[in-house]
Structure 1
C-alpha cells in the first residue's frame, strides 16, 4: 500500500506541474457545459493515450456542472489510478470496459442517475487494442439515458511513450489544446449489429475530435 501511495503522490506532483504550466485552450467547452446543464451528467470518453491531461481536465474547475467520475479496472493495475482519482475528489467505479460485471453496472448506474456523476471511460483501455471502442461507454449511456461525449487533446512539445497505446505526455510549458467532440445519443435498444455500428461511429468521432484539437494547436 505504501508503494501505491508513494506512486500516487509522485504522479499527482508530475501531473500538476504539466497542467499548471501548460498554455491551455479548450475547444467547444460550451457544448459540454450545455449537455451537463440539460442532462445533469454525461459519459465522457477519450482514448487511453490521452488519459493524462484529459482526466486532469475532467477534474478541473473549468467545467461548470461537472461531477467527475472514472471507471477503472478492478485489477491490481487500477489501484494507483484509483487512489489518484480519489485524491482529486472523483468518484470511482471499479469495472472493465466491457461492463460484464453486475456490480460495476449497478455502481455506474447509481453514480450517474442518483448522484449526477459523469463517469469517464477510456473505451480502449486498460490494455487495448488501441483505438478499438469497447461497448461499455455505449451501454452506460443506454442505461442512464445520457450522452457519450468524445474528448481529445493535442500538445506541443510532447512525448509519445513506447507503450501499447502510445501514451502522450506533454512537456512542461507545452501548448495544450483540449477538444470536445460531437456527442452521441444511443437508442435504448440495439441489435448486435447496431451496437457494432455504434462502436465504429464513436471511434470515428473520437478521431475527428483529435483532429479538431490538432487544428487548434496549429493556430497560433
Structure 2
C-alpha cells in the first residue's frame, strides 16, 4: 500500500480529508445562488418542527446542504458504517449535522432502531434510499420501514446545479462548483400507515421512487442538465418451491 493511501486511511488523514470536504461544502454553499421550491404541506411540516424522514438520492448528497435551511442539529443523516461512510460522517459533523450509522446492507436493524430513537425525540432523519452502493435511483425498503415504525411521513427532495460535473461513479454523483446556481425541489409528504402490509409498503416504495425520479428530472431540466437515468430494476427474487412440484414444461 502506498504512503498516500496509508495516510488517507489513518485517523489523522481521515480528519484532515473530512475537514477539506467540509470546507469545500461551505464554500459552495455560501457562493451558490439557491432556489428552493416547497409545497405548502412540506413547508408547514419542516418549519413546524415536526419529525419526518427526508429521502434523497445518493448522487445528490452535495446539493442537499442547500436544501435544509433549518437548524442542522435537527437533521440526523444515515451514513453507512464502512470507511468511506465514516469519512462522510466526520465531514457532516464538521458542518453541524449529526449522523446515524448503518445501511441496508450492514447494520440495518441497528440503524432502524437508532433512526427510531431520533424521530421519537422530534428530530428528522435523512436517508439515501439507493445507497450506499446502488442500484442508482432505486428505492430500498429501509426509508419506508423507518417512517412506518416511527409513525412519521417521508418527504422526497432532490436538486441540481449549474455549473456542476457528473462524476463517472455508480450514483453519477453531482459535484457542484462554487459561484453557480442550484435548484432544490421538495415533494409532498408521503404518509406511511403503521399497519401497512408488505404489499402496501412495496407500493409506497414505488411511489417514493417515482416522485424522487420526477423531482430530480425537474431540477436537472431547470438547471440545464441532462437528466440522469435510473439503473435497470433489479430482477425479482425467485419464488421458493420447497414442498411443491415445479410446473411441467409445455409440450413442443
Report the counterpart of residue 130 of structure 1 in structure 2.
Answer: 136
**After superposition, what is the alpha-carbon deviation per residue over 1:91-121, rounded to whole angstroms, capped at 9, x for unaligned?**
211111368643322211111112x211100
**Greater helix content:** 1
| TM-score for the superposition, normalised by structure 1 | 0.88
| Pair member with larger Rg | 2
Residues 97 and 124 of structure 1 are in contact (CA less than 8 Å); yes or no, is this contact kept in structure 2?
no
Q: Point out where structure 2 has 5 or more consecutive residues left out of the alignment.
A: 1-10, 225-252
> Could you tell me which of 120, 123, 128 is aligned with 1:113?
120
CA distance in 2, matches of 1:130, 1:13: 27
Is it true that 1:194 corresponds to 2:200 in the alignment? yes
Aligned pairs for 1:160-199 (under 5 A) are: 160-199=166-205
> Could you tell me which of 63, 66, 71 is aligned with 1:57?
66
| TM-score for the superposition, normalised by structure 2 | 0.78
Is it true that 1:89 corresponds to 2:89 in the alignment? no
Alignment coverage as a number of residue pairs:
214
Q: Point out where structure 1 has 5 or more consecutive residues left out of the alignment.
A: none
Q: CA RMSD in A?
A: 2.2
Residues 37 and 65 of structure 1 are in contact (CA less than 8 Å); yes or no, is this contact kept in structure 2?
no
Report the counterpart of residue 6 of structure 1 in structure 2.
Answer: 16
In structure 2, relative to structure 1, the CA distance for the partners of 1:37 and 1:173 (3 Å cut) is closer
Residues 73 and 97 of structure 2 are in contact (CA less than 8 Å); yes or no, is this contact kept in structure 1?
no
> Could you tell me which of 209, 212, 219 is aligned with 2:215?
209
Shift of 1:190: 2.9
Report the counterpart of residue 153 of structure 1 in structure 2.
Answer: 159
CA distance in 2, matches of 1:80, 1:26: 28
Report the counterpart of residue 35 of structure 1 in structure 2.
Answer: 45
Residues 44 and 150 of structure 1 are in contact (CA less than 8 Å); yes or no, is this contact kept in structure 2?
yes
Report the counterpart of residue 21 of structure 1 in structure 2.
Answer: 31
Shift of 1:57: 2.7
